[in-house]
Structure 1
Amino acid sequence: MDPRLRDLLVRGDGLVTRRDVMRVAPWWTVQTARRADRLVRLLPGVYGDAALIRDTDADLPPLARVEPEVARRAALAYADGRAALSRLTALDVWGLRRQPPGEPVYLDLPRGSGLRDRPHLLVRRRSGFAIAPPQVVTRGGLPVTRLDRALVDCWPLLPMVDRPGLLIRAVNDRLTTPQRLVTALAEVPRMSDRAALRALLDRLAAGCRSPLEIWGHDHVFTGPGMPTFTRQARVRVGARTIYLDMFAEAERVDIELDGATSHGDPTEREIDLHRHALLATVGILVVRFTHRRLLAKPAQVRQETLAILATRPRYPMIK
């Protein structure tokens, strides 16, 4: 391989563009390297060291045969500063969902850009889109659409079973907020299953932080006789801050919902008991309902909750 071409590949971590080559060497150096199977054309004007090829299936497009990180850098080199990683690719960059083999690289770019789809690369043109904050941020050295917009954009692309969990995780990990997601949804007036996404965002805005809490909100803990619970209520007990799943403040009752795999560890059970004792010192009663009971006997859980609340004196609001 021509040493000038080799130097460009080293500096580009295995990638080189036609423009870069033409600045330092004649074009025949690329043609010679390709004929010798030392260089592979990944996209128009973008080439990679043949050693980057990992998948031996020659029927796949070259961009699908390299590692995802290489494919993304190649796609961005093809866009030449005019695009950002988006949608399912953005979720991978944000660390929320790994793209499985076979999924293409997604790019967003401003309307009017001349780029088009290529094998294993899907581009989308957006009006008013700019490759700059706040619409685009940099993660790991790569331009990527902001997370709230990426989550909204991916809603129709994801399997239905995976959709709520990703948004819940993003909110729980403080990567975004329900309010930001609502704002992002307003930017996309037309999308499939928009009503379902809006309903989920309403539950997140109300403080629900798990699928079980959402189910309980919809089927058990709202309606006649139920107080307006404060979800994820922050309570100080001495020097400790404790967050309560669903807090009926006037009655000082904390409703905790156990997930399907909760309390398999005796150490975790001991921590919970200590937490309950601390809350009791400030007059807060903790009531726990298991995942199994909540789903199998919602009417019974509702009746028990109302009975417990009815027996409690009403306290002044906690400051």
Structure 2
Amino acid sequence: MLGRLGLGVRRRAALAWADGRAALGSVSALDVWGLRRQPDNEPVHLDVPRDSALRSRPYLVVHHRHGFTAGPPEAVVRSGVPVVRLERALVDAWPLLPPADRSAPVIRAVNDRFTTPGRVEAALAAAPKLGGRAQLRTLLDRLADGCRSPLEIWGHDHVFTGPGLPPFHRQVRIVVGRRTMYLDVYAERERVDFELDGTTSHGDRRQREIDLRRDALLATAGILVVRFAHHRLVYETDAVRHEVRAILASRRAPG
């Protein structure tokens, strides 16, 4: 019967059936948190106490959790329904999502300041048998290092790492005049900002003008801006790394 209901109605029906003993969890909770829309054909996920007699059924997955209660601190009310805390939802949803879709909710949650890598790491510590645990931990490490997009993570792992490269700082806050800017990958000694331009910025004339004005303003502060397009970073990695070394070496040269 649940399969004949729309997802929103199905959620309310599942919560009513649980009679106050459950909260939306995993991918269902991520939808309510606004981090990933749950398709209508996915089951509703509920978290309940371990000793609960509630059981899964078609279009409904029940997760029994030790020490769980459908209220603070384990759950909160959001958009009028009880949901597990965001960090728990991110961790529990990780192995259920296709590998290509796993990172986006975590990255967005950190970028939007809903949570921090450390808080998600604490939730991960409580799930030692989680599928894909090592990959999630690596992502959290990269976010803690300052990476804020899949492209920046790629750059961290494949471009801005290796012999002859200095330690870089990521998402560095710089104030020039009345404007505050964040530098993607910053070599402090050489005063070089490497900007990683994603595919969405390619061909956008308005964005190009904004970038040129920004780069000119940073130049007044003695900071050289070097931009690498997505295609070059991914498909010309060795060449980009060689250029990075050469640019940094030229900035260190006397005179």
TM-score category (smaller protein): over 0.9
Give the whole-Å Cα distance in 2 for the aligned partners of 1:215 and 1:250. 23
1:209 aligns with 2:132: no
1:186 aligns with 2:125: yes
Q: Residue in 1 aligned with 2:110?
A: 171
Q: Residue in 2 aligned with 1:65?
A: 4
TM-score (norm 1): 0.76
Superposition misfits of 4+ residues, deviation over 3 angstroms: none
Mapping for residues 109-258 of structure 1, pairs under 5 Å: 109-258=48-197
Mapping for residues 46-85 of structure 1, pairs under 5 Å: 62-85=1-24
* Larger-gyration structure (1/2): 1
Among 22, 25, 29, the residue aligned to 1:90: 29
Report the number of matched residues: 253
CA displacement at 1:101 relative to structure 2:
2.5
Q: Residue in 1 aligned with 2:203?
A: 264
3-state SS of paired residue (1:267): helix
Q: What is the Cα-based RMSD across aligned positions, in Å?
A: 1.4
Deviates more, 1:67-76 or 1:269-278: 67-76
Give the whole-Å Cα distance in 1 for the aligned partners of 2:199 and 2:41. 33
Structure 2: gaps of 5 or more residues:
none
Give the whole-Å Cα distance in 2 for the aligned partners of 1:212 and 1:277. 24
Give the whole-Å Cα distance in 2 for the aligned partners of 1:140 and 1:103. 20
CA displacement at 1:313 relative to structure 2:
4.2
What fraction of aligned residue pairs are identical, expressed as a percent?
Answer: 65
CA displacement at 1:119 relative to structure 2:
2.5
Q: Residue in 2 aligned with 1:286?
A: 225
3-state SS of paired residue (2:9): helix
Give the whole-Å Cα distance in 1 for the aligned partners of 2:105 and 2:111. 10
1:300 aligns with 2:213: no
Structure 1: gaps of 5 or more residues:
1-61, 315-319
Mapping for residues 95-114 of structure 1, pairs under 5 Å: 95-114=34-53
Per-residue CA distance 1:195-251 (angstroms, 9 max, x = gap): 111111111111111111111111110122211111111001111110110111111
CA displacement at 1:98 relative to structure 2:
1.8
TM-score (norm 2): 0.95
Conserved? CA contact 2:24–2:47, under 8 Å: yes
Q: Which amino acid aligns with 2:135?
A: A
Give the whole-Å Cα distance in 1 for the aligned partners of 2:73 and 2:239. 48
Conserved? CA contact 2:27–2:89, under 8 Å: yes
CA displacement at 1:190 relative to structure 2:
0.4
Q: Which amino acid aligns with 1:225?
A: G
Give the whole-Å Cα distance in 2 for the aligned partners of 1:77 and 1:141. 13
Give the whole-Å Cα distance in 1 for the aligned partners of 2:145 and 2:137. 12
Q: Which amino acid aligns with 1:180?
A: R
3-state SS of paired residue (1:312): helix
Conserved? CA contact 2:173–2:183, under 8 Å: yes
Q: Residue in 2 aligned with 1:7?
A: none
